[in-house]
Structure 1
Amino acid sequence: MSEPSGLSFSPAYQVFGRDDWRALRKNTPLTLTPQDLERIRGLGVDLSLQEVEDIYLPLSRLLNLHVRAARTLHTVQDSFLNNAPVTSPYIIGIAGSVAAGKSTLARVLRTILSHWPDHPRVDLVTTDGFLHPLDTLIERKLAHRKGFPESYDLPAMIAFLAAIKSGAPNVSAPVYSHIAYDIVPHERQSLDTPDILIFEGLNVLQQPHGTALLASDFFDFSIYLDAEEPDLEAWYIDRFLLLQRTAFQKPSSYFHNYRDLSVPEATTLARRFWSDINLINLRENIRPTRERARLILHKAGDHRVDRVALRLL
């Protein structure tokens, strides 16, 4: 039986229903167009402009207030230390299960936050780029554990976040290809002191054993995208079937050999991938980090956020 992942939160959180959360939007303007939404919507994710207005505009207002407060605090500390002001990007971590819709959430937030005049430069980096190359995972017998904590190059991830947080210019991150299912050799994503960095991935809130620093040590704000296990499984299978009809058809796709499976065969395979890999990772590594997040967005089966939990300061 699946654990009801979003039905109860610790007393450290204030929980909002949709109506109460929607009211916190105040006069935040809607800057997204239907064309923008179509461009940034994730594969198989049903996201409407109404959802943006009700959920993501209040969230953008909250984050804008946090960014401004963080800048004031930095100015106060620089003044106290007699230091020259240093631009330190505000880092937002986004965690959650496979198929929860993290990528869409990250892209929507990036677009909305970049329309605020206080912080127009917003970059987005995913942890996929910090996976070990596929050859390394195969050599270490970890290919079936892709997405688990041990499949990431944690020192490289920490070094990247430390450089970004220090305000270093021209920091770069590795690039991952979902088509090739591997790191892209000799390709890097360059970042030059963004106002905000959104850092999205499965296990960004995890506390690995034996490490002095965690990815979340560099976060100013963190979000966990939550949903019930049966919904996540259904979304995962739907996405797999959609990919089979699209991306898997490309000869360059790592999963090209699945292109001609029948719908029942593809569904059975997707369900096995979910239960043997992704569900285990969710239960063992991802969901236990949920209440380390500052904000939890819980999605219902129709992809609409039905509850928002904000950690009390």
Structure 2
Amino acid sequence: MTLDHDPAAGRSCPLHYRYLPEVFATPPTLDPVDVLYVAGGLYGNELALERLLACFAAERGRTRLVFNGDFHWFDADPDVFSRVQRGVLAHTALRGNVETELAAEAEAHADADPGCGCAYPDWVDDQVVARSNRILRRLRAASTPAQRAELAALPMWLRLDVGPLRLGIVHGDAQSLAGWGFAQEHLRDPVHRDRLRAWFRQARVDAFASSHTCLPVFQRLRGAPQACAAQPHWIFNNGAAGMPNFTGDPAGLLTRVALTPFVGARRRFGVRIGEVFVDAIAIDVDPRQAQARFLRQWPPGSDAYASYFQRIVQGPRYRADDAIRREE
């Protein structure tokens, strides 16, 4: 059975993607910082990477940039792939499902092959899933064994503090590298939000920064009533650093967590949690250049063109005022 016809490929979540929320109930794995950038879903967009690095270089104090997975995807040209990997790995990085499956040997999957490793939910069309599996196969051909070994060595999660804010950094959610528990669609469900409160109790963090699900959301959760201090918790999902996130807005997004507020027009939305400022910051690039570079690698008729080009041109059907939610 080929990946294109295997119903599990692209929807399954392998056991080795999984971890327990308790792994975050530890001291920070990285030194505390004054300014943290979290950028997930760069998707091989070299222009967005250049712009992001320039913005990060302008920050002051103790700073850190974390790429939390799926920094590869549209970079099917080996030269672009190489430049993206070098730029990302000069900073801190997690592996997303894309990097994990790039690094995996095809024969390593004894049972069902996870395809792209996206663990797509039911609402994603089967043709999108099949195209993603083929994109992953083409991307693997653009990489070298040495590059894939670098990806295999990356962690799946990190713990970091910004001031008093205890933060877990993931690609997917608190249980899986490819989990959709922090998707804006799931976060609309109050029953699901109750499940997340249990994750927070086990993880002992104040917030999670995530990506993976391709649409941004800052979700506030009430603390559990039985907790001694029923403080709220937050999920900060930046959506995509390398693709538009809102209708009519061509910018990618990163999450900035800092002890100083962000000043400027690139701030799309944000919240303040005590002395910590958390903002969704636009990664602005020339949309015509971005589209031209995409088309050089994925022309009309290609899989990535069919799945993504309309979003790249128009943005998704999603608005900035949909992205910040407070559970009172």
Whether the TM-score (by the shorter chain) exceeds 0.5 is: no
Superposition TM-score, scaled by structure 1 size: 0.32
Higher helix share: 1
- Structure with greater Cα Rg: 1
| TM-score normalised by the chain length of structure 2 | 0.31
